[in-house]
Structure 1
């Protein structure tokens, strides 16, 4: 079926091109374009993400080295550094943002039954942010809290089943993380795993009223009054499990209902953390195990920073930066989709490394990505010189 087609072409066939064309028509981005359409821009930027290109000149040189193959890759336009730079500067980044969101919706359907190491009937999300440091002399619009430093803060809501990002938002690096709660639409029955930077009781009470649950660390200066202590079966893991009320009048007006306070102890290091949640039905051990899954978002940030190109940018305008970040997210989700559709056990890192060196090969995609187990036979070594005989 795929005989003669390049690996890059087969990979891009997993994209919903009808959605992409609809978005381009919605934003009218191909108007007055004759030689380098939005699809050409996306494919070039996806190629840069998959192969680890460092600059526009790098992209231009590598693609021109395969000039005869570009038509079969789906790239119809003329590859030039200035053309790609103009496209990144001028074409609306929201095309690629909404296209990535459509891929995210597809990936979530594929990973909806992804097993967890805990029994959980709820959908669980991890919420956090990471800052991409930028040079103010090159990106004067990216001002940070500290003078002389620039940055772009990326807020992410991650579905812990499959580590799929569901919401991504950008802000100035000086903006506090808690403002991200205003942009989220609480999902009834879902559990939001957060760090203490998102502790704001007025905003959390909105989540509670919408039927959502939150699980987060508390701050050291939080004052509560114990109402009831729940029985704890294993004191080596759970220090206490309590129903509490906020004591300060100002704070209690913002969150007037009881909360659950769970002290979790690490059996190896002995370090304790105190968790706060509005979910009273989960066992304390499940609460502890669930909060450990919040580290998936830290791993996600580390992965995309190490293996995708979101630290060295091909343009200096906000539009160019957001375009590159959203295409990087689309490539990440596309790899996750292909992994699930082809039923691969290979990790996303291994798939990305394989793709980086096989994009121009004419081999079936599943054969290129599937891990081949080595089988050693005794007769293979029959003609080998025995250096150390028994």
Structure 2
């Protein structure tokens, strides 16, 4: 019988099963549903993301409605209570580790950043996901509000989330930033919420370059002034000293006037050789991480959750990030210029991606194992 491979099966084929099963052995819980394997659990969570399921009932009904096809995916129909039990007990760290593995896989196909310098470029930011305090009492944020915070390091090669740490919303961004281990020689850009000169000194000692905004009340001393080209929008380029405890630290201050809005901005960096205009352009690129947060919240399921426990919520967040990586990987490989937003909509509407990647292959034999890989 001739039939097209489902969109969902195509996305699953991008997840190396050998890697998944190795991780499932490393993160095996003391107690978990014997009839609901880690793979089945992952398949159900990923389906909930790509299909836009709004509740546990929606997720189970959607999968069980296609019960005659589930064996092709290596899963079986599951009761709602079993799914809920797995969400509570199977450690979210398994999905977090899988996210890390898939980031490496996606990076191998990702386009390079827009800048010509060789340094790796990362953006660092955090975003709060609001939760109902009555349903998620473990995530108390304010008196009558709950939430979690996604601390994200974005790789500008392909605009991929490289590291995502999820904490309670009240956790300050700098506390997580200080735990990061960025590659030597890389550039990390972030907003003024991360202003901490002690951390800046640590970055300098680690060989990591920073680009950020200078606080309006910052105290510093200008020790050197460089000539600037006003036509580029750069208004000043100074070497400055700031106090860090009893010591001082030498940094670079770049003044810039946005030619479209007329707004004046002051940037701070420890990179002394890049052109001043490039420093300003690097900071503008920081908005890519804001676009990432907007996409995640609008297109994937991190506002309504399939369980109320901390483990269930974090499992769903990391599977949402995995779904993002799979969409990005498909975009890189298809080379047809679709935006991630449009691609996500096509997947949700159950449009067969096989027609987009290779239009001439409109049908394949469902019993041919060689066709289970979308891009083979």
Is the TM-score greater than 0.5?
Answer: yes
* CA distance in 1 between partners of 2:117 and 2:67 (Å): 51
Residue of structure 2 equivalent to 1:201: 197
Correspondences of 1:68-217 after superposition (within 5 Å):
68-75=68-75, 77-111=76-110, 113-116=111-114, 118-144=115-141, 146-217=142-213
2:64 touches 2:77 (CA, 8 Å); kept in 1?
no
- Describe how 1:1-390 pairs up with structure 2 within 5 A: 4-29=4-29, 33-75=33-75, 77-111=76-110, 113-116=111-114, 118-144=115-141, 146-235=142-231, 237-246=233-242, 248=243, 251=244, 253=246, 256-358=248-350, 365-368=353-356
Assess if the C-alpha contact under 8 Å between 1:143 and 1:150 holds in 2.
yes
2:5 partner SS: coil
Alpha-carbon distance change, 73 to 265 in structure 1, aligned in 2, over 3 angstroms = same
Q: How many residues align?
A: 359
CA root-mean-square deviation: 2.0
Shift of residue 96 of structure 1? 0.4
- Of the structure 1 ranges 174-183 and 299-308, higher mean CA displacement relative to structure 2 is found in 174-183
In 2 relative to 1, CA 185–329 (structure 1 residues): closer, same or farther, beyond 3 Å?
A: same
- Counterpart contact for 2:70–2:77, Cα < 8 Å: no
5+ residue gaps, structure 2, are 361-376
3-state DSSP class of the match of 2:349?
helix
Greater Cα shift, 22-31 or 227-236? 22-31
TM-score (norm 1): 0.87
Deviation at 1:93, TM superposition (A): 0.5
What is the rounded CA distance, in whole Å, between the counterparts of 2:255 and 2:227 in structure 1? 13
Q: Normalized against structure 2, the TM-score is what? A: 0.90
Work out the CA distance in 2 between the residues paired with 1:358 and 1:368: 13
- How many Å separate the matches in 1 of 2:201 and 2:92? 34
Render the CA deviation track for 1:94-150: whole Å, top value 9, x for unaligned. Answer: 110000100011112222x4251x322110100000001111111111111x32111
In 2 relative to 1, CA 371–177 (structure 1 residues): closer, same or farther, beyond 3 Å? farther
Which moves more between the two structures, 84-93 or 27-36? 27-36
User: Which of 1 and 2 has greater Rg?
Assistant: 1
* 2:235–2:255 Cα contact (<8 Å) kept: yes
Q: CA 1:123–1:236 in structure 2 vs 1: closer, same or farther (change >3 Å)?
A: closer
